[in-house]
Amino acid sequence: MFNSFKAFISLLSLATNLATIAAAPADFSSTDAQWIWTTGRAADGTTYPPGNVSIRRDYFPPTGKTPLSAEILITADNAYTLYVNGEEIGAQANFQQAFRYCVALEAGCNVFAVEGQNTPSPTASNVGNAAGLISAIEIRYSDGFTDTIVTDAEWHAITGAVPGFQQVAFDDSAWPAAFVEGPIGTTAPWNTIGVAIPPTTDDPGPDLTSATWIWTNEVSGPTSNAPIGGRAFLKTFSLPGGQLADSIVIDIVADNEYTLYINGLVAGSGTDFHTAQRFEVNFVPSNTVTIAVWAVNVPPGGPAGLLAAAEIRGCTCGCGANAFVVTDATWVYNTTNPAPADFINPGFDDSQWAAAIVEGPYGIAPWGNVAIPTSTSPQSAPVSGAPDAPPATVVSS
Ligand SMILES: *[C@@H]1O[C@H](CO)[C@@H](O)[C@H](O)[C@H]1NC(C)=O
Ligand SMILES: *[C@@H]1O[C@H](CO)[C@@H](O)[C@H](O)[C@H]1NC(C)=O
């Protein structure tokens, strides 16, 4: 997504030294955001036929301004897929709930594109109903100032799913202007149904209670005995749309002990499965975060499990672009002991590793409600037998 990664990083550090002038769009009514769709509205003046539409907005920054990021507040009736500069950023199908996205921008022209969908009424598949897209986008520049663009007649909209329409190079100059239905406060039916707006900051921290205990296929459940020894677990997570993260907060506990690595560096270890530890780790801005764990079932053996929840903090915008990761079947494991060389490092090929076995949710026996940390732990050394690596930058309170 970035023409020059290094240039982006230097702009980023420049921007963090400058005060920002405006807050992100709090809601739609604080802007001039309009519900828009295509010109294909039915003769009744209120409904659209079911089906997909393609909607686009080319954004050229004012002379001398370098866009850094956009915070996008958006919803659509009934569904949308949002793209920025050709990359899919998010998709939702709940028009009563708006969503926020924080996306890094290109230095020049940027393209916001939405594939909107009007679904048929539940009772009759060909009967039309209301359809609309509404969005407010705060553009943040390298000088710390911001502009807000909104859905209005500046957008172009056409009936149908148009292949490739989300790409920057796509030419929408022949498309008609979007049809403007009206602002949020007065436009039926949404003015009476209502649209819930998410808070401008999204920093609830990790949620261990939504994580599941995982282990390898050597267990048949949470109370079955696992072989004694260390096992490798891995989760690589990429932020959508090329966004960068620069820190992670992770709550983690293992039966019996573990060492946690973030992007190849040792965050710390724990040896008490009654109590989780919290580590806060800063790292060089990266799109992908590698969470690696060496977890050990120590003699005399018995059940084994790993439970973790992380908040990955995006750094491109300062507008709460956080992602949340918990231990589940999207993690992978390896039973080789000692651990495969370099498995803790970013870029390790885990394609041959199997999906983790889910033993059960937080709270399940034999571990029960393990204590959730309220403060962070300092960096600590690997447990015996765990891969050695340099220490991570651990922020401890
Ligand atoms: C129609 O739009 C919805 C919402 O963006 C999307 O999930 C779906 O894949 C689209 N369908 C087609 C045929 O493009
Ligand atoms: C363990 O990892 C190695 C290296 O990635 C891989 O070749 C092997 O298939 C894995 N084996 C198991 C049992 O997970």
346-360 pLDDT, tens digit per residue, is 999 999 999 999 999
Phi, psi of 13 (to 5 degrees): -70, -30
Q: What is the pLDDT of residues 110-127, one digit of tens each?
A: 999 999 999 988 777 777
- What would the mean pLDDT of 195-208 be, rounded to a whole number? 79
Q: What is the DSSP string of 74-131?
A: EEEESEEEEEETTEEEEEE--TTB-EEEEEE--SS-EEEEEEEEEPPBTTBTT--B--
- What would the mean pLDDT of 355-380 be, rounded to a whole number? 96
What does the pLDDT read at residue 9? 33
Q: How many angstroms separate the CA atoms of 373 and 378, rounded?
A: 13
How far the first Cα of the chain sits from its last, in Å, is 35
The rounded Å distance from CA 92 to ligand 2 centre is: 37
Q: What is the pLDDT of residues 21-52, one digit of tens each?
A: 345 677 898 899 999 999 988 888 889 999 99
Q: What is the pLDDT of residues 215-253, one digit of tens each?
A: 999 999 999 999 999 999 999 998 766 678 889 999 999
Residues 6+ apart with CB under 8 A from 269: 257, 258, 259, 260, 380, 381, 382, 383, 386
Tell the residue nearest (CA) to atom 11 of ligand 2: 334
Query: Sorting pLDDT into bands at 50, 70 and 90, what band is 8?
Result: very low
What does the pLDDT read at residue 205? 85
- On the question of pLDDT at 364 being above 90, the answer is yes
C-alpha distances out from residue 161 to 47, 137, 262, 282, Å = 19, 23, 41, 41
Tell the residue nearest (CA) to atom 3 of ligand 2: 340
Q: With pLDDT > 90 as the criterion, what percentage of the chain qualifies?
A: 72
Is residue 297 within 6 Å of ligand 1 at its C-beta? Answer: no
Q: How many angstroms separate the CA atoms of 306 and 358, rounded?
A: 10
**Helix ranges restricted to H, the chain:** 5-16, 190-193
Q: How many angstroms separate the CA atoms of 252 and 257, rounded?
A: 10
CB distance 33 to 76 below 8 Å: no
CB distance 283 to 267 below 8 Å: no
Tell the residue nearest (CA) to atom 9 of ligand 2: 352
- On the question of pLDDT at 195 being above 50, the answer is yes
- On the question of pLDDT at 15 being above 50, the answer is no
Q: What is the pLDDT of residues 42-91, one digit of tens each?
A: 888 889 999 999 999 999 999 999 988 888 999 999 999 999 999 998 99
What the chain holds in terms of domains, given with CATH numbers, is 4-193 (2.60.120.260), 208-395 (2.60.120.260)
Tell the residue nearest (CA) to atom 12 of ligand 1: 161
Q: How many angstroms separate the CA atoms of 90 and 204, rounded?
A: 20
Query: Sorting pLDDT into bands at 50, 70 and 90, what band is 203?
Result: low
Is residue 353 within 6 Å of ligand 2 at its C-beta? Answer: yes
Is residue 115 within 6 Å of ligand 1 at its C-beta? Answer: yes
Q: How many angstroms separate the CA atoms of 66 and 63, rounded?
A: 9
- On the question of pLDDT at 171 being above 90, the answer is yes
Between 126 and 256, residue with greater pLDDT: 256
CB distance 80 to 74 below 8 Å: yes
- On the question of pLDDT at 372 being above 70, the answer is yes
What does the pLDDT read at residue 198? 80
Best residue among 218, 335, 337, 352 to mutate for probing ligand 2, ranked by most atoms within 8 Å of CB: 352
Between 397 and 48, residue with greater pLDDT: 48
Q: How many angstroms separate the CA atoms of 345 and 290, rounded?
A: 7
Q: With pLDDT > 70 as the criterion, what percentage of the chain qualifies?
A: 90
C-alpha distances out from residue 246 to 54, 117, 251, 288, Å = 34, 35, 17, 10
Question: Mean pLDDT over all residues of the chain?
Answer: 89
Closest ligand, as measured to the CA of 160? 1
Between 243 and 269, residue with greater pLDDT: 269
Atom of ligand 2 nearest to the CA of 216: 14
- What would the mean pLDDT of 366-370 be, rounded to a whole number? 97
CB distance 112 to 84 below 8 Å: yes
Is residue 277 within 6 Å of ligand 1 at its C-beta? Answer: no
Cα Dmax for the chain: 76
Is residue 334 within 6 Å of ligand 2 at its C-beta? Answer: yes
Query: Sorting pLDDT into bands at 50, 70 and 90, what band is 13?
Result: very low
Return the number of other C-beta atoms located less than 10 Å from residue 245's C-beta: 24
Q: What is the pLDDT of residues 291-337, one digit of tens each?
A: 999 999 999 999 999 999 999 987 655 454 678 899 999 999 999 99
Q: What DSSP state is assigned to residue 221?
A: S
The rounded Å distance from CA 159 to ligand 1 centre is: 12
Q: How many angstroms separate the CA atoms of 263 and 238, rounded?
A: 12
The rounded Å distance from CA 292 to ligand 2 centre is: 15
What does the pLDDT read at residue 323? 80
